[in-house]
């Protein structure tokens, strides 16, 4: 048994300290960033935000909105090759979507089928527990099959496995986050996790040291959290729950007591298991919530709100480009950051 004594931080534990700025308008901020990768031969340029590969988020309807802003959508794992061919007919830009995969043989067969059907730039290999040796082996196999593709894998929260995924698994981008999501119960059910900001800071330092990148996945409650994640060193931020509850998300609008809601659930929830597999195996427990999200209307409005918030952060810290946020960012640890009298 070992105890780490140093304090680990979440987004709610800090504020970003403002500093003198030479900018006079949010419109001066460049939210796009260009990347080259340690293993892939491809390049990418866009806004480094990703919609999570969840049933109710990673859909074509969401992609259709986000791609106009050069934001990536990680499609959920349950689209097959025929679905992608249909979406290709409607219009798919490979710069703004990821094909997601698990790590079983059936997942590999599905991935190969999709890759044979359409042009794909990003592959996202996604498991809840990224510490399994099986994940590294699967990533290596996918790299052998598709040496030029941009490969994302996770989820993890510590330095050593981040480095191993990049160096031995030949991954370009590591997904960081265990349990911070609003629909995730992993920390409750297992006691496992790491406060998200500290996880991002530790893993970003490790990844950047071996020329890789990270995605901060989960824990976003507002635009300021995206800025804090980027300030902590995340190269991309993945958003789930905050992109739910809109017209573009699947499901009917539910009315209760004069208020409108839509359903949202975690991918390890009992709802997800029953939806895709007909049951939840008796040897496992649900590690995800099923919740009613307040109906938010058009996704476009939420996207503009988030992009506007990030631009405003940049003007407060004199970051002319989004990639400069970490070098311009100083965090202040706080006991309280919001006045909630009217919340």
CATH number (domain holding residue 208): 3.20.20.70
**Residue 185 confidence (pLDDT):** 83
**Residue 186 confidence (pLDDT):** 85
Q: Is 151 a domain residue?
A: yes
Q: Is 130 a domain residue?
A: yes
For residues 243 and 49, give the distance between their C-alpha atoms in angstroms, rounded to a whole number. Answer: 11
**Residue 132 confidence (pLDDT):** 96
Find the largest Cα–Cα distance for the chain.
Answer: 60
**Residue 200 confidence (pLDDT):** 98
The residue behind tokens 């996790």 is: 193
Q: Is 238 a domain residue?
A: yes
Closest CA to 226 of 37, 30, 49, 36: 49
By residue count, the chain amounts to: 343
**Residue 168 confidence (pLDDT):** 98
Whether 328 is catalytic is no
Closest CA to 60 of 304, 210, 250: 250
β-partners of residue 294 are: 261
> Per residue in 89-109, pLDDT tens?
999 999 999 999 999 999 999
Q: Is the separation of the CB atoms in 222 and 208 below 8 Å?
A: no
Q: Is 270 a domain residue?
A: no
Buried b (16+ CB within 10 A) or exposed e, 136-172: bebbbebbeebeebbbbbbbbbbbebbbbbbeebbbb
Residue 8, burial from CB neighbour count under 10 angstroms (0-12, 13-18, 19+): middle
Q: Is 294 a domain residue?
A: no
Q: Is the separation of the CB atoms in 227 and 44 below 8 Å?
A: no
Query: Which listed residue (184, 203, 314, 328) is catalytic?
Result: 184
Domain span at residue 311 reads 15-251+303-332
Whether 203 is catalytic is no
**Residue 182 confidence (pLDDT):** 82
β-partners of residue 288 are: 184, 269
Q: Is the separation of the CB atoms in 122 and 72 below 8 Å?
A: yes
Number of domains in the chain: 1
For residues 205 and 100, give the distance between their C-alpha atoms in angstroms, rounded to a whole number. Answer: 26
For residues 8 and 4, give the distance between their C-alpha atoms in angstroms, rounded to a whole number. Answer: 9
Q: Is 5 a domain residue?
A: no
**Residue 95 confidence (pLDDT):** 98
SS (H, E, C) 40-77: CCCEEEECCEEECCCCCCCCHHHHHHHHHHCCEEECCC
Low-confidence residues of the chain: pLDDT under 50: none
Q: Is 79 a domain residue?
A: yes
> Per residue in 120-163, pLDDT tens?
999 999 999 999 999 999 999 999 999 999 999 999 999 999 99
Strands 290-294 and 259-265: antiparallel
186 Cβ neighbours under 8 A, 6+ residues apart: 128, 178, 179, 192, 193, 268, 287
Q: Is 73 a domain residue?
A: yes
DSSP string, 222-286: SHHHHHHHHHTT-SEEEESGGG-SBTTSSS--EEETTEEEEEEE-TTBHHHHHHHHSS--TT---
pTM of the predicted model, to two decimals? Answer: 0.94
For residues 42 and 93, give the distance between their C-alpha atoms in angstroms, rounded to a whole number. Answer: 15
């Amino acid at each position: 048994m070992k105890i780490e004594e140093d304090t680990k931080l979440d987004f709610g534990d800090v504020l970003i300290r403002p500093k003198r700025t030479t900018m006079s308008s949010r419109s001066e901020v460049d939210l796009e960033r260009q990347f080259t990768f340690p293993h892939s031969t491809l390049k990418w340029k866009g806004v480094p935000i990703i919609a999570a590969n969840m049933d109710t988020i990673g859909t074509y309807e969401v992609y259709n909105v986000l791609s106009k802003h050069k934001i990536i959508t990680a499609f959920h794992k349950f689209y097959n090759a025929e679905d992608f061919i249909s979406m290709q007919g409607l219009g798919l830009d490979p710069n703004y979507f990821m094909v997601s995969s698990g790590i079983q043989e059936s997942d590999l067969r599905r991935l190969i089928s999709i890759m044979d059907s359409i042009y794909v730039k990003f592959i996202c290999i996604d498991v809840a527990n990224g510490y399994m040796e099986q994940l590294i082996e699967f990533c290596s196999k996918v790299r052998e099959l598709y040496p030029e593709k941009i490969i994302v894998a996770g989820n993890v929260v510590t330095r050593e496995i981040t480095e191993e995924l990049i160096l031995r698994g030949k991954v370009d981008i590591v997904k960081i986050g265990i349990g911070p999501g609003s629909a995730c119960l992993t920390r409750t059910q297992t006691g496992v996790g790491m406060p998200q900001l500290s996880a991002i800071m530790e893993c970003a330092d490790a990844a950047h040291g071996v020329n890789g990148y990270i995605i901060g996945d989960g824990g976003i409650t507002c635009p300021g959290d995206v800025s804090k994640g980027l300030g902590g060193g995340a190269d991309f931020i993945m958003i789930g729950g905050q992109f739910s509850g809109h017209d573009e998300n699947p499901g009917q609008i539910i009315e209760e007591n004069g208020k409108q809601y839509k359903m949202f659930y975690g991918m390890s929830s009992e709802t997800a298991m029953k939806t895709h597999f007909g049951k939840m195996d008796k040897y496992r427990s649900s590690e995800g919530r099923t919740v009613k999200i307040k109906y938010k209307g058009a996704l476009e409005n939420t996207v503009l709100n988030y992009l506007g918030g990030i631009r405003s952060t940049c003007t407060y810290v004199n970051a002319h480009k989004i990639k400069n946020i970490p070098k311009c960012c100083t965090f202040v640890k706080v006991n309280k950051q919001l006045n909630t009298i009217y919340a």
